[in-house]
Chains A and B, each alone.
Chain A
C-alpha cells in the first residue's frame, strides 16, 4: 500500500525559471494539501484541493503560485519565475473522506520536494 509520493525529491532552479512539483496521494484518498517548510520553521499551509476543485487557497501567495488536482494524474504545485525566497521544502499530504461522528482530519505526508533557487 504505497504512501503519498512526491517528485522530484530535489529540484534546483535558477531565478526566473519555473518549478513544477508533483504529488500522488495515497490510494483511496481524494483530498490533497500542500504545505511549505522554510528552514528552522514549522509547516505552513498553502492550498487544499479535491479532484478538479480548489477548496482553500488561503495560504497561497497571490502571485506566481498555482495548484491543480486534475481528474486524472497527480496534483501539481507550480511556481513561476522563482526567486531565492521560494527555496524551501514543499510537502504534500492526503487524507481520506471520513463521515459520521467518528470523522476527524488525519493527513498523511509525502517525503517532500526540496526546492533550491540559485
Chain B
C-alpha cells in the first residue's frame, strides 16, 4: 500500500521556469491538499480539493495553479518560478466520511535559483 506518492523528490529550477509537481494517492480518499513547509513558518496550505472536479485556494495560493485530474491525482503547477517559492512541498489526502487526519507524501524539495 503506497499511500501518497509525490514526484519528483528534488528539483532545481531557474527563475522564470515552469514545472508541475505530481501527487497520487491509492487510498480512495476524496480530499487532497498541497502544502509548503518553510523554516519557522510551519505547514501552509496552498490549494486543496474536496472532491474530484473541485479546487479551492488555501492560505498562500499566489503563483500556483492546481489540477484535480481524477480522484487519485492532484498536481501543483508553478508557471513562472520565483526564488520565494524555494520550499519543501507536501501533498496530503484525507477521507471526510471516516476522518482520521491526513496522510502525507514524502515531499518535493524545490530550489529556485
Say whether A associates with B: no
